[in-house]
Amino acid sequence: KELAKYSARVRESCPQPRRTARGADRAIKIGHVVDLASFFSRYIRSRNMYYIESNIVRPLTARGNISFAELVGACRAQWFVSHYWGMPLCE
């Protein structure tokens, strides 16, 4: 149910996700990460990206077989931040 609500919310800002080649043009803004974390905060708590990807991101993107960046509206990267998925998303 929450996945459907979030999906509808994303469709308001990005009604027609478009395929984007891997690379610098398939980035997301920090606001998308913050929005996802805020919306699903009661489920995420102190969980890591392995939990988030398999229980939230993958179900959101599976139907269209697209990336999360494509779902929310990919943009060109200005900065690249690498992170370890094993750390809690929010602390």
What does the pLDDT look like over 43-87, one tens digit per residue?
999 999 999 999 999 999 999 999 999 999 999 999 888 889 999
- For residue 36, is pLDDT > 80? yes
Burial of 29 (0-12, 13-18, 19+ CB in 10 A): middle
- How far are the Cα atoms of 1, 17, 19, 69, 90 from residue 14, in angstroms, in the given order? 20, 6, 12, 11, 25
